[in-house]
Structures are given as structure tokens and as C-alpha cells.
A and B are shown apart, each in its own frame.
Chain A
Amino acid sequence: MALYIFKRFWMMLATIFIIATLTFFLMHAVPGSPLEAERTTNETIQANLEKFYKLDQPLHIQYFDYMKSIATFDFGPSIKDPNRTVNELLERGFPISFELGIITILVAVISGILLGTMAALRHNKMIDYAAMAFAVIGISIPNFVLATLLIQQLAVTWGIFPPATWKSPMHMVLPVLALATGPMAIIARLTRSSMLEVLTQDYIKMARAKGIKPIRIVLRHALRNALMPVVTIMGTLLAGILTGTFVIEKIFAIPGMGKYFVDSINNRDYPVIMGTTVFYSAFLIFMLFLVDIVYGLLDPRIKLHKKEGDV
């Protein structure tokens, strides 16, 4: 286990290095500069700005500077917002995005599993059809469309929730709903099908024959096995939720990280592009790593390292 984690750690570093290098050269290959604007400043000022941000240096020197800044986790000042460093932007934006992401995942997982289990237990009954119809709708509607619908209905027309911004738990309801519905629907469908399969297996019949309470059978014996496919797609869902927050944060005016990610590319704000990309990819890679470990914990048959693995 320790060896596996150690190996994965070095793999993670190598991946981040490749991502950082690709990002650097791609962003410099794209025409346009962070100092480009419709309104042109005169050449002296332009030169001053370039000197200030070291954009007048040759590319390889800039590359080494960037690599150094990544190694030390100090990305320097933003070009668009010169009073703040990229680190400050990350420190400010990430906790909010993280909060939104975690609540969304919790809501999606809990309600998705509940919905899927209910549908499986009432197979081919009304509840099953209703739950699956709901799930199909949830998968089909993109989260930004749902977000607009939610704001229009629940905030503007009925006035139950505030339409946007991120100030109180009340403000969190609509963005979380918009973001969680898609993953929830996917989890519900997956839970339902694997639950149906598990429930027909012999050990469940055995458990019933022994007279174990049904609730215990479902929670203890069936669900644990039925959840394996759900854990498998958690990695993909996480990536989906993370990227989904970009759009949702913009619609709901949530001061998270998504804005920096998108705006920095439009502004060619090199330090922010580097900072957010490296940070996001590191985070995502780390989460996938965690999913792998959880997978092994849930199913001891899955060996994290194959060398000693024999049945």
C-alpha cells in the first residue's frame, strides 16, 4: 500500500509537470498578450508594463521562472489585477468553489443513492418509473439551463430563494440544486441497475431465508456491493462537477475559482492561467487518487498493487 501511494505520488508530480509545461507553451503560442486591449496605450507605457511583468524576457527564461514559481507555490502577481497575487486569488476563490463542490457531491450522492435504491426496491412500480423519469430529465437538462429555470421560477416568480450571490445557506440552495441534479440522476440510474442485479443474487436470498430484517439486508448486504459502480464513476463525476462550477459560479455570481480560470484565458493573464490550471489539475489528480483508495477499501478483492496479488 505504502509503495503504491509512493509510486502514485511521483506519477502525480510527473503529470502536473507535463500539464504545466504544455499549458505554458500553449498559452504563449496563442496570439494576443495580457497587455492587449481595444484601447491602445502608447509604446512607452506598453514597454513599462512589459518590463514590469518580465514579458520582455526570452521565452525560455520566462519558462524557468514559471517552473520555479510552481515549485515554490508562488505564482506572483496577476496582470489584470496587479494588487493581488495569484496565491491570494486561489486562497480566496478555492474555499468557496470547494464548499459548493462538496455540498453538491453530498447532495448528489445521498439523494442519488436513495432514489436509485427506492426505484430498485419498487422495480416496475410507480415509484420506479417516477424516479427514472426524473433521472432521465436530470441527465438531459444541462446545468446552466436548469440554473436559469430555477432562478426564474424559485427566485423571481415565487421569491423563495435569493436569485444570486453567495452570502448565506439560503443563497446556496439554487446553485447546489442546479449543479447536483445531473450527477444525482446518473448515480440514481447506476444504483438502481446494480441494486437490481445484486438483489437477485443467492447471498441475498440466503440472508432473507435466515430472517434478517429487510432494512438490514438492503443497507448492510446489498447496498455495499451495489455501490461499487457508483464509486467507479465518482472520479468522472468529480471532474464534471468541478468544471460545472465554472458556469454555475458565473450564473449565480459566486466568487469562486471558476471566474479566474475563464477570465484569465480571455485576458491572457499568464500567471493566473498557470496558477489555476496547475492547481485545478493537481486537485483533480489528487481526488482521483483518493477515489482509487476508497475503491480498494470498499472491495478488498481489488489489490492496489499487483505484485503480491494472488487469489
Chain B
Amino acid sequence: MPKDHGIGASSKRREDVRFLTGTGNYTDDINARGQAYVHFLRSDVAHGRITNIDTAAASEMPGVVRIFTGADFEGIGSIPCGWQVTDRFGEVMHEPPHPVLAQGKVRHVGDPIAAIVADSLAEARDAAEAIELDIEELPAVVNMKDALKDGAPKVHDDLPGNLCYDWGFVEENREAVDKAIKEAAHVTTLELVNNRLVANPMEPRVALGEYNRANDESTLYTTSQNPHVIRLLMGAFVLGIPEHKLRVVAPDVGGGFGTKIFHYAEEAFCTFAARQLARPVKWTSTRSEAFMSDAHGRDHVTKIELALDKDNNFVALRTDTLANMGAYLSTFAPSVPTWLHGTLMAGNYKTPLIYVNVRAVFTNTVPVDAYRGAGRPEATYQLERVVDKAARELGVDPIALRRQNFITEFPYQTPVAVEYDTGDYPATMDKLEEIADIAGFAARRKESEAKGRLRGLGVNCYIEACGIAPSNLVGQLGARAGLYESATVRVNATGSISVMTGSHSHGQGHETAFPQVVAEMLGIPEDQIDIVHGDTARTPMGMGTYGSRSLAVGGSAMVRATEKVINKAKKIASHLMEASEADIELKDGQFTVAGTDKSVAWGDVTLAAYVPHNYPLEDIEPGLEETAFYDPSNFTYPSGAYACEVELDPETGRVTIERFSAADDFGNVINPMIVSGQVHGGIAQGVGQALMEGCVYDENGQLLSASYMDYAMPRADDVPFYSVDHSCVTPCTHNPLGVKGCGEAGAIGSPPAVINAVVDAMQSGGHDVTHIDMPASPSRVWAAMNG
């Protein structure tokens, strides 16, 4: 009998009531009295020098409040980068300034040049057309290989070139890896592209800045996954506003996928302008603007080599990657191709020697940063593709080759710095073979072939690192922040509870899942507990939601705070029942004295805490509210095995996904329904990357795929009914809930499964195709088979 409440129950998502009935409160739903609107004049060339900008005539246009340009931001801070990577020679990365509005040069299509604040948005847009702007167009660099050539146009004139850093990991392994590959019985080599993606959350970015002259306080409402991080970055580094005078609110947020982690120029602008004008200033991104101003994802070009001995054991792995940074360093951009990517290259396998080389490159494109999975999808894709190619070259079963090389003993220290605490890779593979009915594939292939279709099966594994992360470790790796999480559990007088969490929910279902944990611990109904998040004025300093960290880190903080509450409540209960504190037990919302029939209810104890007439005031304070900060001791390592079956129409090259199965080990699961939903969404995004999505620039740096006419998002009829399972559980060993995180797994594990399946389908048709780059669109597939 499945549980109907608490940990392990599929409680219905309470937030969906407002999301599905149009009563959510998104940033654009918030309007301040007398607000003005800002429209950004953006560059329509990829690279150029601003030779003249004259706003005089535009400033006289009806409704214009003020027009700002880069000159207004001289002396104001640069948009900061939150992670400093040290290269393989011990030098720190190149870190060019990132002005709020362009100063002197524009560096990508969409780079904001001027901000027109007006009484209405239409007036702001009209005035933008009246700005006299002359830009001397400069040659642009788009392709990363070209950008690294001698004499290539420089994105940043003051840097030696377009190389941000040349990172080697683990540098000490370099020679040993080279030697092992040279001497190996077999080496499989694969060159591939991890295609540039645009996150496309349903809600575009919005910012509303307010300024209160009475108390010199600024408030920013913004579409963020981490309001405290924005407050710190924007307050301390850009605008110089101390925390106690700056409040950042991220209310309901309609999807983030990473792209709403970062601090953006537009939100700094609205906060700045509201202070300058003493008037609220609002910006709402259009979808077109989102395509050219939201940080993009992925965009790696990689060569990977896997060396095997004569018995098909993996002996060494070497990768060489170019990672696109775009024109400026977005908040966490440098960490994505390095520490979030290189450390995962062992995958699920006991490859003893690994060397990862990543060169990060500036180009005249939109900045690239974390997108669902952030570095781990790139690692998983190349590794699982090269393992699959090796199996095909060697004529062995891809599943058997994987099983043969699985890590089976834990904890396992990888050659790429991280230590996996727990996992059971054969178990998830067994489960996958069962739910995907791998045994029945041959018959299904025959059926497809009878219809004139090719059918392919792709299988892969994944491991990822979630719950970022131990602060002292990431500090050594270059993070300019700690990565703990916080929670305050405020018990009210009549026993209901508000949990203030530093995590942020933008679709993950925290408002449902977090109360399940507290309800389980206290034995009270879930509906007695509410979650408060997304407001720096209401929550303790926390680092927000990304990297599948909320439950593993934020949930752990909440557990610690709840434990403190229970300890204090037991003291109160022991006083009320005149018993020894050591004998007090809490079960089903009742405090009892062990071995007696004495009991007091949860509500009696909470009331006593706030109406302390009969209370041990000499020993403990009144009130029942506790805060905890939790800093994890390690990453968590969710893992799993995925299978995709495709049908391919050889006449058109069109690929359809017929079956998709996912067997994941997320450790303990709080709400199985929410976990399944997270996996479903992740797979949809992974399928989108594999078959449909691709952000395209032309050779001049013009963004060609900037609407849904040209950027293909997956729709409901592009994905099948999934078969997902998370019954394989090896609990995380180092957090109190034993949870690992599930938010990104689907997007990490699915692209290689799809491409492995497409290659399998093509080969089954007698086509000598060993690889196809994503997105495997019909034209690409057809060309690969007929080229």
C-alpha cells in the first residue's frame, strides 16, 4: 500500500492549483504605482564599434522619461562572473568587463546599447527608432576554431586573443594518458558537436525595480532561481547597494532550466534606473529578446578517444573540447565546461586514466552558461557515444561492454577528483532491460521493417553530480560563493509551520515535497506546513535552486532546522509532563513519555512556547523557531540507465521516438509522482536537443534561429509515453535524507540514448554511418544515409 502522506507519498502538487487556474503571481503580474517601462535598443550586428549615438531627438519624443546609454554607467560596476577558472599553466582565466549597457563596442546581436524609459512601452519603442546610432561593423568571430586562429578579430580588444582559458584535468595525468592511448590494443575516436541550445522557459525574463526615497530602499522583482545570489552580485558588485537596503523578490517563476540563475544586465538596469528616476521601472522580455539575451546552453566541439585493452577493458580516456563562452562571461559560465564537466568524465566506468582538455573561447554570440545539466550532459553525451561506437567497432554488445566496465565497489575514487559515495549500476541496467523489454526489440524491429521503416535501439548509462556543493571544495575550484543552503522553520503558536527556505521553486514542486519531509518528522498533516521562498526579506541567505540541489542541500537544511525544533519542543514537553527529557518521544504529532500513558499534543507544546505561563523560562527561551545552514560534505551521484527506440523513415530521414525507458537511482524519493514528472520533462528537453533544437548563427554572427518558426521546440506529439522507474535506491550516504536529486537526470541521460538509437537504425539499414551530430533532423539523417 503506497503511503498517502509524508515521505514516499505521491502528494498532489499543491502549487498546481494556482498555476493551472491562472492565479499564479509571476513577476509580470506585479505592477507598481506609476511605473515606467523600459525598452532596450539592442545591437543588430554581431561586432562593431559605436561611432555615434545621439539621443537628443529621441528624448523629446512623447512619453519619454529618460534615455540611458553606456555613458550613464561609467563608474558603475561590471556584471560579475561568479567562478574563476585557473588554467593548466597556473594562470587565471581572462575575465573581460561586462558593462550593463555597451560601452564603445557591441559584441553580439542583442547586446544592449541604450535603454529608453517611457510612460508606456509603445512610447519607449517609438523613441528607440529615433535614436541616431552609427555602428562601424567589425568582422565577427562565430566559429570557435576560427576564433583561436592567429589574427582573428578579437571580441575584447584588451585581451591577447579570444581564448578565455586552456584547462587541463587532471594535468598530472596527461602524459600517462597519452602513453596508455598510444599503447592500447584498440582506440575508438569520435568527433562531435554538442549543439547550442536556448532554454526557452515558458515565462520570459522580467524585472521590476522600485526605489523608496523614504528609507533609501531598493526592491527588485525578478525572474530568478536564486534571489539572494542576485542581491549579492548586483548589490555588492554592480550597483554598490548594501544588502539591508536591497530586497530581491523572485515570486512565481515559470521555468528556469538554468537560464534564470544568472545575474543579467536588465535587472541591474531596472534597479539602477528606479533609483535614478525615483520611479518604478519595468522590463518584460519579448520572446525575440529572450533568444538573443538569455544565456544559451551547451555549444561544445569535442574530440574524444577511448582506449581499450585486448579484453575490452577501458584503459584510458582523452578528450579535447572547445567550449563557447559567447561574448561575455555569464555568472557561472567558466565552471560549466570545467568542474561540472571534467569531473564527470569517468561516468559509470572504472577507466583508470583520464585527461580532459578544455579551451574556452570568446565569440561574437550570446553568452553561454548552465542549461539543465550544465556540463554533465556534455560529459555524458561524448562518453556514452564513444562507448557505443567502441562496442560497434569491436562487434560486442553495447550493454555487455558497459556492464564489463562498470564501477561496482563504493565509495569509488575516480581519476577525475570526485568520490562516488554509492550506486549500483548493474541494478539500474537490470531494471532498464526489464522495463524497456530489450529482449523484445528484435521482434519490434521486424515489425518496423515490415512497414518499410528502420528501427534502432540506443542504450546508455549516466552518472551526474548534484547537490552542489561543499563550500570549501568549490572555493578551491574557483567558486566565488559558498554553496550551502538555509532554512528557517517557524512554528506558529497554534502549531502550523512556515518553512523559509533559501531554495527556490520554479516548477520543481518544493511547496509540496518539502512539507512532506517536515510532516513526516513531526507527524502532523502536510497542510499544516507552508513553504516560503523567493524573497530575500523573508528567507535566510541561501544560494537558490540549480544543479538538482534543492532537496539534497536545501532539504537537508530544513531537516536540521526541524531537528532543532524537535529538540526544543521535547524540552517544553518534558516540562509540561514533568518527565525527563531523555524519555520524551514524538510520534504522530504526540509527545509521550516512554513507558507511560502520559502525552501532550504538538499544538499544546507550540502554544506553550508562545504563551509561556507554565514554561521553563530559566532554561529555555520562549518561541519555537529555528534556523539551520547546511553545507554538504560531498556531491551526490544520481545514476541510471536509459533506452530509446526510434523508427526511421528511410524515404524522408524522419526519426520518431517509439519507446523511451529510464531506470534511475535517485537515492530516497520523497514524492515519486514529482520525481517522475521531473524525469519526463528532462527527457523531453533531451529529445529536443537530440532531434530538433539547434541555435544557429550565420558566418557574420547574425542569429538565424530566433523564433519558434526556426527554433524547433519539442511538442507533446514528438515524445512518447515514457516508462520511468526509480525503484533502484542506493541512498546517499552523507545527507540526512539519503536523497540525490532528480531535476536534470532526464536531460543528461537522454541525448546519447536517442543518437545511439538513430545510429543503430541507420546501420540496420546497411548504411555505414558511425555518427550523426545533433539535432538529428530529417535532412541530416537523410543526408547521412544518402550522402
Asked if chains A and B come from one complex, the reply is: no
